[in-house]
Each structure stands twice: as structure tokens, then as C-alpha cells.
Amino acid sequence: MNSRWRGARHAVWGLLLTITPTLAQPEPAAAQEATDSLRLQLARLAALVDSLSLEVARLRDAGEDAGADDALARLRAAAQAAADADGPPAPQERETQDFVGRQRSLQALNPEISVNADLFGHASKDDPDRDNFFAREFEISIISNLDPFSRAKIFLSRHSEGGEFSPFSEGGQAGAHGTGEGGGFEVEEGYVEWVSLPGGIGLKFGRFFQQFGQLNRWHTHALPFQTRSLPHIAFMGEGSLAQTGLSAHWLAPFGLAGGTFEATLEVTRSDNETLFGESAGVSLLSHVNAFWSLSASTDLDLGFSRVSGSYERETVSGDRNLYGLEMAFTWRPPGQSRYRGFSFRGGAMAVDGLAGLGPTSADEGEHALGLWALGDLRLSQRWLVGARFDRTENPADLEETAWLFSPTLTWWQSEYVRLRLEYDLLGRSFAAEREGHLLFQVTFAMGPHKHETY
């Protein structure tokens, strides 16, 4: 028996001598807590071995062998409990953690780049030899969030003549439906914008489509019809009112009858030749807008805009003002907005007549007036029908008027591809015959910037 207990003691102390050098080595900080706990348990086991040695000696002197077996069993149980509680986990139970780099991915620094295209085909019985197919516009958009407070947008566009109307052009020409010729890419918009500023204020600096109503902000490929309204074309030209300067937007913190109100003030250089001629002075735009959600399915939007500046060309010069009143009504039933819906937009515009410019003019105070209205009805997820009617006076000669009626049929192949069939019927007070044109329009988008309306 003595040799058996002597062997047990030697085995326990051998275990302690084997583990102690390992515990003396430096360990990672993550395992320090487990190491301290294991050392404490081993200290307890050492004390237990010493106590058990005394107990074995006492039993041996007393001749009681059964107690020795019980003491050995308690020692083994205590050692196993200490190993289970504080020992390292089994290999299959170890938790693994994937390495994650702290550096920012370079891919996240890249801007969003998109390409939009506007393609046309047309037919006219009055001029069958005119170019029938042309690519009106290719647009590259580059958008990037610079930091939590600002973002930048750049739109590069290559525009070819075609698809526009010139209702008051010389010789009674109705307007070009395609020469297919165009220059290189130019900056259509390019600005930096500060958002989330205190007081609900947003700032924009650069070249941008100005906030004259809502449709002026839309790019050509996003319009509900193939051109802007006749008053817009006669007063501001075929393109959008886009100038270079500073824009400040304010979202009012109060409401009236459940409405939301906002105001925009823009100071820009007079770049629009149709509106300001050869003037390079400063123009001022002010815009106020109100929006009401009448119900869960209907919305109403009202806006008023004014642009003021100076007009200079040859012998004609003077202050010039442009006014615009716009409304929009939309109906989209909840849960069925992708299949049913109706929208209507309309407005009135007025601009100082060219004959009224100058302090000595007899026609001072006269304005050219224009009206426009358009609507579309969604028949299903992909099909829409629409129509518009425009009428405007000629700012250079208030006796001349023009009107346009256009029905459309639109099919959305997907959110990236749109096909539209449109018939344009144009009439003018100084032309005996009306002119009609059938157009087929295809627009497609590559990238996140699709047919954006904002």
C-alpha cells in the first residue's frame, strides 16, 4: 500500500511540475483571465495534496486502508472538476472570428456612374425625306457623396438636333425633327451641394437646372413627353433653364392645414440666350412651393416662380421678368400604385414681351402668355396612356400664337427601358396648315441614375 500511495503522490507532483513552467511563460492578454483562474485551482490542489498526505500518513499509522481509497477518489474528482471548469475549451468548441481590416475599402470611394440614352425615329407625310432616325442625347452622370454634409453631381451630355419644336421660327417651319448632327460632350450640370445644414437649409454651387417649377429640374430623357411645353420653348428655349451660380433652399419647419412648404432663392449669371439675350449680368430666381397629402392616395402640389434679369441684344435692352405658376395632382392607390394611377400637371407662364423692353416703348408692360397641361393614366404595370395640350404667344410678336396637341402610348419594358409612341399635331396662327409628326422614342439607362424626377 505504501508503494501505491507513494506512486500517487509522485504522479500529482509530477503533474504540478509539468504545468508550472508553462504557466510561467508570457501569455496573450486575451488568455490572462483563464490562466489566473487555473493557477488558483492548482494552488488549491497543491494544498489538497498536502492535506491528503497527512491524512494518508495518519491512516497508515492507524491501519485503516479504506479511507485512503476514498481520499484518492476525492482527489481525482477535484482535479477533473477543476479541469472542466477552468481549463481551455475543446478544439471543436473554440470560437472563431474572421479578420476585418480597419482600412476603408477603396471601392467605396468610387462615385456612381450611369449612362442614359434618348433615341428617336419619326415619320412625317409633309417631309418624307427628312432624317428618320437619330440619337438625340447621350448623358453620363457622375454622382458622389463627398462626406456626411455634401455631395457632388456632374452630368455630361452630347446632344444632337432633333425632336424639338420651333413654333415661331422664320419661314413658317414647324421645327426640326432631326438633323442627327451634334457636337461633343459638354457639362449639362456640375455642382456641389451641402445638405442637412441647420435650420433646414441646403446650398448648391455650380451649374445646375434651376428650380423654375418642377419639370425644369427634370432631364430630357425623364420628361413625360418628348419635349418641354411650348411656353417653355418660346420663353426659355428648347433646353432647361440652366445657369451658373448659387442656390439656397429652405424647408419650412411649420405647416398649414397639413401642408409642407419650401422656398428657393438662386443668384446666377444670365446664360440663357432666349430669355436674356447677350446679357451677362446677374439674374435672380425665387420659388415657393406647397405640398399637401390630401389622403393616402392623393397628393396636391402648388408652386410659384419668378426670374428677373436684364435683356440685351442690338437695339433692344431693358429689365425682363418671367413668371410661372404650376400645379400637380397625383392619385396612386396604396398597394396598387404599380398597376393603377393618374397624374395631372398644368401651369401658366408669362414673360415680358421684347417689344415692351425699354423706357420709351409704347408697348411697355405687355406680356406674352402661355398655358400647358399634361396627364397620364396607368393602365397596368407596364402600359400608360397620356395626352398634353399647350398654347403660347410669341414674345417677339404678341399677335402670333401656336398650339400643340400630343397623345402618347408608353410601355415600360423595365425600370431601365422605356418605349413611347407619340403623335404631335402643331398649329400656328400664321400658318394655314397644321403639321403632324409620328415619333417613336426609346430611352434606356445603365447604372443607378435612371429616369430621375426630382
CB 375 within 8 A of CB 386: yes
Residue 196, H or E segment: strand 186-197
What's the whole-model pTM score? 0.73
Kindly tell me the burial class for residue 70, based on how many C-beta atoms sit within 10 Å of its own C-beta (0-12, 13-18, 19 or more): exposed
User: What is the spatial distance between Cα 191 and Cα 193, in angstroms, rounded to a whole number?
Assistant: 6
Give the pLDDT means over successive 10-residue stretches in the chain (454 positions). Answer: 52 53 48 62 72 71 59 68 59 54 64 92 73 86 92 92 71 44 82 91 96 92 92 93 96 85 96 91 96 94 96 88 96 91 97 74 72 96 97 93 96 94 93 88 88 66
Total Cβ atoms within 10 A of residue 99:
4
| Side chain identity, residue 208 | F
pLDDT of residue 160: 83
pLDDT of residue 7: 53
Total Cβ atoms within 10 A of residue 1:
11
User: Angle between the 2-24 and 32-62 helix axes, to the nearest 10 degrees?
Assistant: 160
- Dihedral sign for Cα 277, 398, 324, 230, please: negative
CB 82 within 8 A of CB 44: yes
Start-end of H helices in 256-363: 273-276
User: What is the spatial distance between Cα 90 and Cα 386, in angstroms, rounded to a whole number?
Assistant: 71
pLDDT of residue 176: 43
Q: How many helices (H) and strands (E) does the chain have?
A: 5, 16
Q: How many angstroms separate the first and last alpha carbons of the chain?
A: 95
pLDDT of residue 131: 64
pLDDT of residue 58: 73
User: What is the spatial distance between Cα 57 and Cα 297, in angstroms, rounded to a whole number?
Assistant: 94
For residue 272, give Cα distances in angstroms to 282, 305, 348.
11, 17, 20
Closest by Cα among 235, 165, 174, 234 to 430: 174
pLDDT of residue 321: 95
pLDDT of residue 362: 43
Does residue 28 sit in helix, strand or coil? coil
